[in-house]
Amino acid sequence: MSESEVGRRAEKMTNDKGGFPAQEQEHPGSTAAMDPVPDHGEDTYEGTGKLEGMRALVTGGDSGIGRAVAIAFAREGADVALSYLEAEQEDAESTAELVRAAGRTAVLCPGDLMQEETCTSVVEKAVEELGGLDILVNNAGAQWARDDSLEQMSSERMDRIFKTNLYALMWLTRAALPHLGKGSSIINVSSIQAYEPSTSLLDYAATKAAINNFTVNLAAEVGPRGIRVNAVAPGPIWTPLQPATKPAKAMEEFGADTPLGRAGQPSELAGAFVFLASPKDASYVSGTVLGVTGGKPVF
């Protein structure tokens, strides 16, 4: 399917405001319960062998952006380990089936990345069952947009956001680095919130700005080892995280404020991750943040 057809398909999934029907879910959310169910590239992504023989660990790989990346990586020839919360087992198994349908190995790594020991064990399991590691995608993230101000923000919420988005990213990367060699890459997931922060996502936006800094800094540190470090900054993307962390009515105009006038689908991000992971196509790309934002600026 051509890029223009993918875009038209994404446009048809939105309402006349550019958003979706009002809906809300319990955290962490379910793909099957979404209306409409997101497009992860199940019927659209066609690989060309860009990652043939490579081994990837994708955190938050059960659904949303992580599922789209896992599908794309598998169809490009990579074996994929998926990290996810135990509550997301059903979604993770569905993603694993799609990886295996592409003829690649899928490894399931459930666990809460807020725990340092889980991050270490997830990397160890991925390395053991895949036979090594070439790509780490730090995609797992948490947000909560139902509090009105910092004064109402609990320390428990701050811990969840900072440990999931920042601590886990650093723990996972630290554990993965000894297994990565020349031609390997680390891809972090930033956000448009690092550039246009919403007051209701004060803590989340702060972690995403920190991820940008971490990306550039680590790229300088490990560049001499031939390891590339980059980030993708998504705009509003239709994933279970949205109805699971925001008010139901907010979904009706979710993404409508972008220059393209709509939210994006997870499938529309996959190519950015494939490009950054490819040791051929992105051999001289490191320390950069690639925006996939529907037109919002990332500078």
Cα distance between the two ends of the chain: 31
Amino acid 131 reads G
| Cis omega (within 30 of 0) for bond into 224 | no
* Inter-CA distances, 182 with 176, 227, 287, Å: 13, 5, 16
Q: Which residues contact 224 (CB under 8 A, 6 or more apart)?
A: none
Strand segments (E) across 62-129: 79-84, 106-110
Q: How far apart are CA 21 and CA 66, in angstroms?
A: 23
Which residues are designated catalytic? 204
Residue 132 identity (one-letter amino acid) = G
CA angle (14, 58, 277) in 5-degree steps: 90
Contact 13/264 with Cβ under 8 angstroms? Answer: no
Contacts of 128 (CB under 8 A, 6+ apart): none
How many beta carbons lie within 10 A of that of residue 199, not counting itself? 11
Q: Which two tokens stand for residue 278?
A: 């490819």
